Structure 1
Amino acid sequence: MLSRRILWGLSLSLTLASPVFAGEFKLAPKAVLELFTSQGCSSCPKADALFKEMGKRSDVVTLAYHVDYWDYIGWPDTFGTAENSDRQRDYAEAWGSSRIFTPQMVVNGRGGVVGSKTAAVNGALASATLPLTVSLTEQQGGLVDISVPANADLSGGTIWLITFLDHADVTIERGENEGKQISYSQIVTGRQVLGMWDPKTGAKLTLPLHEVLTGKANGAVILVQQEKAGLPGPILGAASFTL
């Protein structure tokens, strides 16, 4: 059963099977904030801490992608994957850039800023908006209904399921952050396509939680994102829950 520890990406209609709590949340978050970070990067701990604070905001959904391209300097990131590094490279290519770096925060898939610079992150968030409402309704049997309305003013997008671990403390034993214990949040553990969003008809899906939250994952984001020539484009809407 979903608890009250819920971060909602856009609009959530939640009905619990238990009579203890039932209600509707419409917090209208305006941004999905993606952090590209590495445990082997000396500039990243400040960004990791800022990212954790941003995750406390009701108007922001956060996802941390740990990359693997700094592993060679002495400490393999315990959460790093080649797929996460590829996602960052795909963003750079979509924006016409050949440069990737850590720490980087990406706002709504539209652009990136240095993730340790508070003013830059706040500036990028200030004008951020998400045009689509993603609604989630919990049903009996561990099922969650996903609903995304039609919007003929937009072009279509892909509906993604992104699982995450909401918290982990890691002691870095080697490399640039040797000896530090760093607190990480919203650590991406997997990504998969759920379906397509049609701007004329919208989309409705049902998700079995017990088949989704496997391994260390204890939360997930439902995210609608456009693509351009196979590369990630603007994020249109999202919803997030944590068990």
Structure 2
Amino acid sequence: MNILWLRLRLAATLCLVTLPAGAVEISSSADAVVELFTSQGCSRCPDADRLLAQLGEREDIVALAYHIDYWDYIGWEDTFALPENTELQKGYAQSWGKNRIYTPQMVINGQNAVVGSDAIEAEQAISQAVSLLPVTLRANGSDSVVFSAPADETLSSAIVWVVPYRARADVMIERGENSGQALTYTHIVTARQAIGMWNPLEGAEITIPLEEVLGPDSDGAAVIVQEKDGALPGRILGASTFIR
């Protein structure tokens, strides 16, 4: 991959955040949510991070980077790691009957897991992903976004999640397996919050106040409708994103 080309493409994507004050850029409903579990302390993760940056440019994909904390002990504490991200990855593993987790791992629509640095395997899984539920977001003035999704009695009830993320950050890794490398990260998850339920008999409409869900480190957010298997995460039915 030509690094200059990638930086130019990333710059083109990030121009969305230079909109006039108060403006919100909204994406259409995506076919696939690609969740990358990654770490700054993992030597195989930079390839996966670059792949996620490319996938995140596609209109049919919601890309999210969940930085985990279980590699921090090997010499470098990931500056974006959240314990909640590790727990989400463990939840996926438990829901599939697996007893181990690893990085880099990509999860597609909450159902299929692939090695995050394997572009061919990732593309095969993404090509089979479909959105089961159309998700619509619309700006409500300058201070909120309205989520809506129609009823569909063929599906099960699901949780509506808001997942704020940072569009891009450059980090100099000083220790650990990636010591001495200046690495670029994109779609960095900064939080994950349940904001309501989607009812298959009634659908749902929820107003999302921007100041309450987007902290100072977040440029935008994904809104995801996801089933649960008991207390564990299930398949993702639909998703969309907005950038402030």
Q: What is the TM-score normalised by the length of structure 1? A: 0.89
Work out the CA distance in 1 between the residues paired with 2:161 and 2:231.
14
Partner of 1:240: 241
Partner of 1:49: 50
Partner of 1:197: 198
Cα RMSD after superposing both structures = 2.0
SS in 2 for 1:76: coil
Sort the Cα spacing of 1:30 and 1:68 in 2 relative to 1 into closer, same or farther, 3 A: same
> What amino acid is aligned across from residue 75 of structure 1 in structure 2?
W
* CA deviation vs aligned residue, 1:14-72 (integer Å, no higher than 9, x gap): xxx98xx99x975x521000000000000000000011000011110011000000000
Work out the CA distance in 1 between the residues paired with 2:118 and 2:37.
14
SS in 1 for 2:65: strand
Work out the CA distance in 2 between the residues paired with 1:84 and 1:94.
15
SS in 2 for 1:5: helix
Query: Of 16, 23, 44, which residue of structure 2 is paired with 1:5?
Result: 16
Work out the CA distance in 1 between the residues paired with 2:84 and 2:47.
24
Structure 1 residues not aligned, in runs of 5+:
7-16
Number of corresponding residues: 227
2:222 aligned with 1:221 = yes
How far 1:215 moved relative to its partner? 2.3
Identity over aligned pairs, percent: 47
Work out the CA distance in 1 between the residues paired with 2:142 and 2:220.
17
Partner of 1:79: 80
Aligned pairs for 1:1-243 within 5 A: 5=16, 26=28, 28-243=29-244
SS in 1 for 2:191: strand
Structure 1 runs, 4 residues or longer, greater than 2 Å off:
3-6
Structure 2 residues not aligned, in runs of 5+:
1-13
Higher helix share: 2
Sort the Cα spacing of 1:84 and 1:25 in 2 relative to 1 into closer, same or farther, 3 A: closer
> What amino acid is aligned across from residue 151 of structure 2 in structure 1?
A
Work out the CA distance in 1 between the residues paired with 2:144 and 2:230.
34
> What amino acid is aligned across from residue 5 of structure 1 in structure 2?
L
Q: Contact 2:27–2:240 at 8 Å: present in 1 too?
A: no
SS in 1 for 2:217: coil
